Amino acid sequence: MEEIVISDDKSLLDREVIYRFLASSYWANKRRRETINQSIEQSICYGVYDGGRQIGFARIVTDEATMYWLCDVFIDEHYRGKGIGMQLIDEIVHSDKLAHLFGYLGTKDAHDFYQAFDFQLEEEKVMTRIPNFPRNKM
Protein backbone atom coordinates (compact mmCIF):
# COMPACT_ATOMS: atom_id res chain seq x y z
CA MET A 1 0.00 0.00 0.00
CA GLU A 2 1.42 3.34 -1.05
CA GLU A 3 0.72 6.57 0.79
CA ILE A 4 -3.01 7.18 1.21
CA VAL A 5 -4.18 10.52 -0.16
CA ILE A 6 -7.52 12.13 0.73
CA SER A 7 -8.65 14.96 -1.54
CA ASP A 8 -11.73 17.06 -2.20
CA ASP A 9 -10.61 17.66 -5.81
CA LYS A 10 -13.50 16.32 -7.93
CA SER A 11 -11.28 16.07 -11.02
CA LEU A 12 -9.51 13.11 -9.35
CA LEU A 13 -12.69 11.10 -8.78
CA ASP A 14 -13.01 7.80 -10.63
CA ARG A 15 -16.73 7.78 -11.30
CA GLU A 16 -16.71 4.13 -12.43
CA VAL A 17 -15.40 3.10 -9.00
CA ILE A 18 -18.10 5.22 -7.36
CA TYR A 19 -20.87 3.79 -9.64
CA ARG A 20 -19.81 0.21 -8.97
CA PHE A 21 -19.69 0.64 -5.22
CA LEU A 22 -22.98 2.51 -4.95
CA ALA A 23 -24.67 -0.07 -7.20
CA SER A 24 -23.73 -2.74 -4.65
CA SER A 25 -24.66 -0.70 -1.56
CA TYR A 26 -27.89 -1.11 0.40
CA TRP A 27 -28.66 2.61 0.30
CA ALA A 28 -27.99 3.60 -3.32
CA ASN A 29 -28.33 0.44 -5.39
CA LYS A 30 -31.29 1.81 -7.34
CA ARG A 31 -29.76 5.18 -8.25
CA ARG A 32 -29.20 5.86 -11.92
CA ARG A 33 -25.79 7.00 -13.17
CA GLU A 34 -27.26 10.36 -14.12
CA THR A 35 -28.49 10.83 -10.57
CA ILE A 36 -25.11 9.88 -9.13
CA ASN A 37 -23.37 12.29 -11.50
CA GLN A 38 -25.69 15.13 -10.54
CA SER A 39 -25.26 14.38 -6.82
CA ILE A 40 -21.47 14.55 -7.23
CA GLU A 41 -21.68 17.84 -9.11
CA GLN A 42 -23.92 19.43 -6.47
CA SER A 43 -21.92 18.25 -3.42
CA ILE A 44 -18.55 18.47 -1.76
CA CYS A 45 -16.86 15.15 -2.48
CA TYR A 46 -13.83 13.48 -0.97
CA GLY A 47 -11.91 10.73 -2.70
CA VAL A 48 -9.45 8.40 -1.02
CA TYR A 49 -6.54 7.18 -3.15
CA ASP A 50 -3.77 4.63 -2.88
CA GLY A 51 -1.15 5.33 -5.54
CA GLY A 52 -3.70 7.14 -7.69
CA ARG A 53 -6.26 4.31 -7.45
CA GLN A 54 -9.53 5.39 -5.82
CA ILE A 55 -10.29 3.25 -2.79
CA GLY A 56 -12.85 5.38 -0.97
CA PHE A 57 -15.38 8.16 -1.23
CA ALA A 58 -17.63 10.43 0.80
CA ARG A 59 -20.15 13.02 -0.32
CA ILE A 60 -21.31 16.04 1.67
CA VAL A 61 -24.48 18.04 1.01
CA THR A 62 -24.36 21.42 2.73
CA ASP A 63 -25.63 24.98 2.80
CA GLU A 64 -22.11 25.92 4.02
CA ALA A 65 -23.67 28.05 6.76
CA THR A 66 -25.54 25.88 9.26
CA MET A 67 -25.47 22.16 8.41
CA TYR A 68 -24.15 19.30 6.31
CA TRP A 69 -25.35 15.80 5.45
CA LEU A 70 -22.59 13.19 5.21
CA CYS A 71 -23.50 10.41 2.79
CA ASP A 72 -22.32 7.79 0.30
CA VAL A 73 -19.29 6.93 2.43
CA PHE A 74 -17.32 3.86 1.46
CA ILE A 75 -13.86 2.28 1.64
CA ASP A 76 -12.92 -0.56 -0.71
CA GLU A 77 -13.34 -3.85 1.16
CA HIS A 78 -9.65 -4.75 0.64
CA TYR A 79 -8.63 -1.61 2.56
CA ARG A 80 -11.06 -1.85 5.48
CA GLY A 81 -9.77 -2.32 9.01
CA LYS A 82 -6.66 -0.19 8.39
CA GLY A 83 -7.95 3.09 9.81
CA ILE A 84 -8.50 4.68 6.39
CA GLY A 85 -12.19 5.33 7.01
CA MET A 86 -11.26 6.99 10.30
CA GLN A 87 -8.79 9.23 8.46
CA LEU A 88 -11.45 10.16 5.91
CA ILE A 89 -14.15 11.08 8.43
CA ASP A 90 -11.65 12.89 10.66
CA GLU A 91 -10.55 15.05 7.73
CA ILE A 92 -14.16 15.82 6.80
CA VAL A 93 -15.47 16.74 10.26
CA HIS A 94 -12.41 18.88 11.03
CA SER A 95 -12.23 20.62 7.63
CA ASP A 96 -12.40 24.41 7.57
CA LYS A 97 -15.67 24.27 5.60
CA LEU A 98 -17.51 21.88 7.93
CA ALA A 99 -16.02 21.94 11.44
CA HIS A 100 -18.37 24.71 12.62
CA LEU A 101 -21.54 23.22 11.06
CA PHE A 102 -24.16 20.87 12.47
CA GLY A 103 -23.56 17.40 10.96
CA TYR A 104 -26.14 14.78 9.99
CA LEU A 105 -25.86 11.31 8.54
CA GLY A 106 -27.87 8.14 8.18
CA THR A 107 -26.54 4.63 8.74
CA LYS A 108 -27.98 1.20 9.26
CA ASP A 109 -24.88 -0.48 10.64
CA ALA A 110 -22.04 1.93 11.52
CA HIS A 111 -23.31 3.76 14.60
CA ASP A 112 -20.28 2.92 16.77
CA PHE A 113 -17.89 4.07 14.04
CA TYR A 114 -19.53 7.51 13.72
CA GLN A 115 -19.96 7.95 17.47
CA ALA A 116 -16.15 8.09 17.65
CA PHE A 117 -16.51 11.41 15.77
CA ASP A 118 -19.18 12.75 18.17
CA PHE A 119 -22.21 11.88 16.02
CA GLN A 120 -25.11 10.99 18.30
CA LEU A 121 -28.08 8.74 17.61
CA GLU A 122 -31.19 10.97 17.52
CA GLU A 123 -34.02 8.54 16.81
CA GLU A 124 -36.80 10.65 18.26
CA LYS A 125 -35.96 13.85 16.38
CA VAL A 126 -35.08 12.65 12.91
CA MET A 127 -37.84 12.40 10.33
CA THR A 128 -37.62 11.45 6.68
CA ARG A 129 -39.84 11.77 3.64
CA ILE A 130 -39.57 9.31 0.77
CA PRO A 131 -39.75 11.09 -2.61
CA ASN A 132 -42.67 10.34 -4.90
CA PHE A 133 -40.88 8.05 -7.35
CA PRO A 134 -40.02 5.23 -4.87
CA ARG A 135 -43.19 5.77 -2.86
CA ASN A 136 -45.31 5.27 -5.96
CA LYS A 137 -43.64 1.88 -6.57
CA MET A 138 -44.58 0.52 -3.13
Closest CA to 98 of 76, 119, 72: 119
Q: Judge contact between 100 and 73, C-beta under 8 A.
A: no
pLDDT in tens, the chain (138 residues): 568 999 999 999 999 999 999 999 988 999 999 999 999 999 999 999 999 999 999 999 999 999 999 999 999 999 999 999 999 999 999 999 999 999 998 888 888 888 888 888 887 677 777 766 554 555
Q: How far is CA 135 from CA 26, 34, 90, 96, 123, in A?
A: 17, 20, 35, 37, 22
> Which DSSP symbol is given to 78?
G
- pTM exceeds cut of 0.95: no
H helices of the chain, where?
Answer: 15-24, 33-41, 84-93, 111-115, 132-135
Q: Are strands 102-105 and 53-62 parallel, antiparallel or unpaired?
A: unpaired
According to the model, what pLDDT value does residue 120 have?
A: 86
Name 76's Cβ contacts closer than 8 Å, sequence gap at least 6: 21, 55, 56
